[in-house]
Amino acid sequence: MSVGMSVSPSLLPAGLPCWVELASADEQSARTFYGELFGWEFFLKRDPATINRRYSIALLNEFETAGLYQAAGDQSTGWMVHLAVGNTVTTAEWVEHLGGTLTLGPVDIPDRGSILHAVDPSGAPVVFWQPPENWAFATTMPGTFSGADLNTHDAPSADHFYCRLFEFTDQ
């Protein structure tokens, strides 16, 4: 989706990356690093699910580009891409039907839609997100999301899972 576009969940294609966030061992250092690297500014939101109850949203030219939060001591750190879905409840059913494991949700987030965390059959963690109707995610200018790859030791399981879930072809 282009910068500044608003798309309702029914128009946002399922499987399209719609958000990216960083779980960091040092939130302040990450904000400083990415702020200087990409020119991001941050605003803080209250988030009862994070260890310090904060969630930083990165802005570039006033467009939301990414999220960042302090990882808990036992939590993996790194970037996570969120994939758009039309309905997290239905997606949860399909994830289990296709051999994935649910790890959180679906959970409604006020003014931000609904999320579902899972592990796909290849062992890779994934977040599915049903964004709100007015969702916009900056992706078409330098300093914003441009793509992601799935690294897994079990590509056939991942291919089968995502192709069936999103009606992709594996050609």
Identify whether 46 is part of a domain: yes
The Cα–Cα gap between 83 and 13 comes to 9
Residue 157 has pLDDT above 50, yes or no: yes
- Domain of 118 in residue numbering reads as 17-166
Residue 10 has pLDDT above 50, yes or no: no
Identify whether 146 is part of a domain: yes
> Mapping DSSP to helix (H, G, I), strand (E, B) and coil, where does residue 149 land?
coil
Mean pLDDT of 124-133: 92
**Which of 63, 92, 88, 56 lies closest to 1 in space, CA to CA?**
63
User: For the chain, what percent of residues have pLDDT higher than 90?
Assistant: 61
Report the amino acid identity of residue 30. Answer: A
pLDDT digits (tens, 9 = 90+) for 51-89: 888 999 999 998 999 999 999 988 889 999 999 999 999
Identify whether 12 is part of a domain: no
pLDDT digits (tens, 9 = 90+) for 86-115: 999 999 999 999 999 999 989 988 888 899
Identify whether 119 is part of a domain: yes
How many domains does one find in the chain? Answer: 1
Identify whether 2 is part of a domain: no
What would the two tokens of residue 61 be?
Answer: 């030219």
CATH of the domain at 113: 3.10.180.10
- Looking at residue 171, what is its pLDDT? 63
Identify whether 92 is part of a domain: yes
CB 132 within 8 A of CB 6: no
Q: State the DSSP code for 72.
A: P
Identify whether 49 is part of a domain: yes
- Looking at residue 51, what is its pLDDT? 85
Task: Give the strand order in the sheet containing 54-60.
Answer: 41-46, 54-60, 63-70, 17-24, 78-84, 125-130, 113-119, 101-109
- Looking at residue 139, what is its pLDDT? 84
Identify whether 4 is part of a domain: no
Residue 7 has pLDDT above 60, yes or no: no
Residue 48 has pLDDT above 80, yes or no: no
